[in-house]
Amino acid sequence: MESPCRICGGVVKESIDLGRQPRGNGFLLPRDIENEFFFRLAVGMCDSCTMTQLMEDVPQEIRYHDSYPYHASGSAVHRKHFEQNARYFLEHELTGPDPFIAEIGSNDGVMLATIAAAGVRHLGIEPSAEVAEMSRAKGVRVLPEFFDETTAAKILEEHGPADVVFGANCIAHIAHLASVTRGVELLLAPNGVFVFEEPYFGTVVGKTAFDMIYDEHTFYLAVRSVKAMAELYGLELVNAEPLALHGGTMRYTLGRPGMRTPAPAVAEFLEQERERGLGEHAALQRLSASMEKIRHDLKSLLVKLREEGRTVVGYGAPAKAATVTNYCGIGPDLIPFIVDNTSAKQGRLVAGSHIPVVAPERFGEADPDYAVLFAWNHAEEIMAKETVFQARGGRWILYVPDVHII
């Protein structure tokens, strides 16, 4: 299957098909099962700009509804990370007489709260009403809209140019990314920067982190494809910085051409990606083969443990859990419940697989033999917290980069 590239208009050729999938964050009540939404989840790469992307879109109004359940402040690691981001911007970019920062997809205000406390002009652009209201409670100013060229023009007229436009774990979610990039180019001050952090395509391939593929992740960014996108829309990639967040994230910094000297890391990552073949369809084909092995190994292990009378539960219900359980054919018969500390998910079911999500207290009460760590990108934080489980002989099951037991 082929489709036009959302970035450059080139030809996107399909390489991976994960079959019929629900929305990753579509946690539903039992009464809603009958009307559950599904779509075909498949990934391809553009022959021209090498941007890896979904073959089919789920409308953003369906993905980012008023009761969107993801709260960035739910992780202590995330809170610390975004506070550090804010401090960096305050010290290095927001230093003029009247600086202004705009954040695309500001979620619950985890980053902008520090900016607001410093008295710096700011604006969060957040279309999901509930998390936007959480931002306001922290003193953050929020525009409840999706960001695009039209929104950017409105912000520019009311607030003036932005010294920083920031986005974390949302830029790659936006199907109309071309319009977003044009909007950023319009909004940026002459020496302003567009900084965004997204899961790195090299991580997805290198770790076989296929659970990062779901409806909200429209694009899978690499340094090469971001550089091509920037140049298409009047910007320049000036830095690329790897982060440990989410198991492997890249922070990209774009500016106006010629205004900043590109860091050596840009050329270094471009060479690394060339050597790894990340701009070639073969990278996706290798990923597909590794995914199939994990699917076989994970389900086989869970069936074996059930036959042995072992108890297995899930830990953490990120959107990734929907991809894994649906792709691998795992339901409540193998994992009776998943614990998660997000109250908006508790009492609901993982989309598609219909595994119940329960409060963390159930983990200790059940005293399981094994726990599948769906929130593997928070493994260090979780394992440090659940020492009683391990002291009792509990074992963790992970499936990235392969199926193994800790």
Contact 218, 242 (CB under 8 A): no
Task: Please give the Cα distance from 167 to 171 (Å, whole number).
Answer: 6
229 neighbors 252 (Cβ within 8 angstroms): no
pLDDT of amino acid 69: 54
**pLDDT per position as a tens digit, 118-164:** 999 999 999 888 888 898 999 999 999 999 999 999 999 999 999 99
Backbone angles phi, psi at 214, to 5 degrees: -160, 180
Give the pTM. Answer: 0.91
Rg of the chain, C-alpha, whole Å? 21
* Cα 320 from Cα 55, distance rounded (Å): 18
Alpha-carbon span 359 to 357, nearest angstrom: 7
Number of neighbours of residue 80 by Cβ within 10 angstroms = 10
Q: Under a CB-based contact definition with an 8 Å cutoff, are residues 179 and 119 in contact?
A: no
169 φ/ψ sector (left φ>0, alpha ψ -120 to 50, else beta)? left
Whole-number pLDDT of residue 65 = 47
**Would you call the peptide bond into 4 cis, given omega within 30 degrees of 0 as the criterion?**
no
Residue range 80-123, pLDDT digits in tens:
999 999 999 999 999 999 999 999 999 889 999 999 999 999 99
Which residue's entry shows tokens 């979780």? 382
> How many helices (H) and strands (E) would you count in the chain?
14, 18
Q: Could you tell me the domains of the chain?
A: 72-278 (3.40.50.150), 283-405 (3.40.50.720)
Among 260, 262, 202, which Cα is nearest to 227's? 262
> Over 80: is that where the pLDDT of 245 sits?
no
